[in-house]
Structure 1
């Protein structure tokens, strides 16, 4: 069983493939393995938006990101996830 909405285990993926794909068409779905996030399934529109945004950015990597910026990014992602759950 999924630990939270939008998150499934690799075992769920094999048993509930159709349902997971249907959900991924609405919003990104995380696939976990041994309680750790391993994959994200997202619809093509979200993927293309991410690729376009990545093309517009300066080249860099998470390894070159400052610790402060990385912490800010983590907080923003956590807040987005909390806001998303409240909105459901």
Structure 2
């Protein structure tokens, strides 16, 4: 991955864009990576592969889902206690 500074970006935008069309480019500010410039094709590929799962807690779980889980747990427990 190529790396350019924000100063480079203001002076050589055309060259950096051309480079970013071939592969992702890192833009640094004060020697720290701040941005990544990539082609729309690379961006779409990344977003299509992204994990869309979310994390939740019992406090913010929808009531209907919580009731379904409770019912399944009760069903499982009753099966487990059978001889």
Aligned to 2:47: 51
| Separation in 2, partners of 1:59, 1:50 | 17
Alignment RMSD, CA only?
A: 1.5
Q: Does 1:33 align with 2:29?
A: yes
Q: Which aligned segments of 4 or more residues in structure 1 are displaced greater than 2 angstroms?
A: 56-60
| Structure with larger Rg | 2
Q: What is the total number of aligned residue pairs between the two structures?
A: 55
TM-score (norm 1): 0.58
Query: Mind listing any 5+ residue stretches in structure 2 that lack a counterpart?
Result: 56-83
Query: Mind listing any 5+ residue stretches in structure 1 that lack a counterpart?
Result: 61-88
Pairing 1:45-84 to 2, within 5 Å after superposition: 45-54=41-50, 56-59=51-54
TM-score (norm 2): 0.61
